[in-house]
Structure 1
Amino acid sequence: MHTALSVQSSAPAAPVFPANPALSDRFLRLPEVIHICGLSRSTIYDLISRDAFPAQISLGGKNVAWLASEVSTWMNERIAARGQERAA
């Protein structure tokens, strides 16, 4: 005779975030930045050279990353600019 396993129907506990948002920031490596922003590697580095995208942070050696909060802020600014262009 087979017995069915009972499935817990309770929702998982809500994640606990630090009170200081800076403490919850994390590093994003280039493939993740490309995926999140939808930009190519060359476009990201071109925008960085024109101070139009957050600069990468050296992690030591040849390793670099971007702060998630800075990438998110850049994306939100682009979204806000789109709204302003439509209103004009």
Structure 2
Amino acid sequence: MNSDLTNSFTSAVGVNGLLYIVVSLICIALAWWALQQLKLDLFIRHPKGPQGKLLHLLLAVVLGRFVAQFLIDYITWSQMIRYIF
């Protein structure tokens, strides 16, 4: 009985971890796609160079991570609502 509970718990944690990874990667990809419209040449001397591309990548990761964290928090909070009633 205890083994079944442990297995179901670890399975749920694994599924949540996989969900968080997928949501984070999707949000980073969407941020990368959205940042394609940003004119970095207004702020950077050589936006096509390696430093400009790295900055673009870092901006996508930071923005995507913030959006993913918001979505993950929202999912978690919405699952907690059922314990109110």
Q: TM-score range, shorter-chain basis?
A: 0.3 to 0.5
Pair member with larger Rg: 1
**Greater RCO between the two (CA within 8 Å, min separation 6)?**
2
